[in-house]
Amino acid sequence: MSAFLLATDLDNTLVGDDKALDLLNQKLIQHRHKYGSKIVYVTGRTFPVCKQLARVKNLVAPDALIVALGTEIYFSFLDTNPNKEWSKILAQGWERDKVVAIAQKYPELQIQPESEQNPFRVSYYLAQWQKDKILSRLKADFINAGFEVNIVYRAGQDLEILPKNGDKGLAVKFLQQQWHITPEITITCGDCLQDKTLFNGHQKGIIVGNAHPELRQWYLENHNDSLYLAKAVCAGGILEGLEHFGFL
C-alpha cells in the first residue's frame, strides 16, 4: 500500500449511496492518515453549491477542489479565492468580453444567472433540440475569430464556454504536478460522458456502476487495463475500483 491521488466527480459518483459513502470515507481518512493520500473533488458545481453538498453529505475535507467544470481550483473549503496559478493557466488566450460578444449574436442562447458565471466561465441555457445547429455555428465563429475555447454542452440545457485549458482532466494534471504525483498512482472517477476528460492520460479510471449509457458506450469503445467499469453504484463502485487496482 502507498499514497495515491483520488480525484472524483461528486453527483452520482461519490454521492448517491450514503451507506457506501460512509464506508469509503472511513477508508479514505485512514489511508490519508497512514500514507498521505490526496482526495480531490471534481465537479460542475460552483464553490458555494459544492460546499452545501459537502455539509449535507458529510464529505471528507478534501486536499483540493476542482469546481465549476475545472475553471476554479481551491485547496480548502475555507479558501476565499481560487488558486492564482491555475487562473494564470486559464487566462492564456482567453478574452471573456470577446467570447460574450460572439455568443450574444445568438438569440437561442439565454444567459444563466450571475451565480453560475465566473471570470473563466460563460454559461448559457440552450434547448436540446437547438443544440446541434447552434453548436456547429458557434464553433465555426470561434475558429473564424482565431479563438480557441472549450465548449461544453451538458445536462440537456447548459452551454458552457470555457478557456481552452478549462478542463477537469487538465486541472487534475495541474494538481499532479503541484504534488509530484505520477499518473500511475492517480485514480479518477465519474458517471457521465462529460467526465470522460478525467479518463484521458495514463491514470487509472473508475466508471461507477450507475454510469449513464453514453459513458458506458464510450467505455465499450475505449476500454483498456487502466479503466474499470464497476458493478456497484456510486461510492460502492469507487471502493470496488480501488480494490480492483490494488489501492485498498
Question: Which stretches of the chain bind Mg ion, using CB under 5 A?
Answer: 9, 11-13, 191
Closest distance to Mg ion from the beta carbon of 190 (Å): 6
Whose CB is nearest to Mg ion?
11
Would you say 50 or 89 has its CB closer to Mg ion? 50
> In terms of Cα–Cα distance, which of 159, 154, 76, 72 is closest to 118?
72
Separation of alpha carbons 47 and 10, rounded Å: 12
- At 122, is the secondary structure helix, strand, or coil? strand
Closest distance to Mg ion from the beta carbon of 45 (Å): 10
Closest distance to Mg ion from the beta carbon of 197 (Å): 13
Would you say 167 or 191 has its CB closer to Mg ion? 191
Angle at 184 between CA 224 and CA 207, to 5 degrees: 45
Closest distance to Mg ion from the beta carbon of 81 (Å): 26
CB 186 within 8 A of CB 178: no
Would you say 37 or 43 has its CB closer to Mg ion? 43
Would you say 13 or 203 has its CB closer to Mg ion? 13
